Amino acid sequence: MRMFWLAAITLVVGCTGPTASGSQPTPVASQPAAQSTGTSGAAPAEINAAKPCQVGQVKASKITKLYHLPGGKEYALVTVNVECFANEAAALAAGYKKSPN
């Protein structure tokens, strides 16, 4: 079990551990980050706020019948019973009203 935690810490911290002579640990070479798909270079916070829609889409609550624009105060809070629209005009055409927030 101890070796498991040592391995886990090595991965998180990014070093190979102390050497036999007691000198400083050797840094592990970092690997390039995996590329995500369909995000157009969006920041992780922006991607999380948009869920379940795509980044930049308008989110509408099927319960309140209000739509929320990206960057809006309650945009990230709308996560269930959501309908996604490409733009504000599409949300209006579907019968949704703009959120006051």
pLDDT in tens, 2-32: 444 334 443 344 444 454 555 555 554 444 4
b/e map 17-28, b = 16+ CB within 10 Å: eeeeeeeeeeee
> How many beta carbons lie within 10 A of that of residue 38, not counting itself?
8
Report if residue 55 sits inside a domain.
yes
67 close to 88: Cβ distance less than 8 angstroms: yes
Residue 92 lies in a domain: yes
Residue 83 lies in a domain: yes
> Averaged over 32-41, what is the pLDDT?
50
The tally of domains found in the chain comes to: 1
Predicted model pTM: 0.57
The pLDDT, as a whole number, for residue 34 is: 42
What single letter denotes the amino acid at residue 27? P
3-state secondary structure of 97: strand
Is position 10 within any domain? Answer: no
Question: H/E element holding 98?
Answer: strand 97-98
In a domain, 24, yes or no: no
Structural domain range at position 62 = 51-98
Per-residue confidence (pLDDT) for residue 4, from 0 to 100: 40
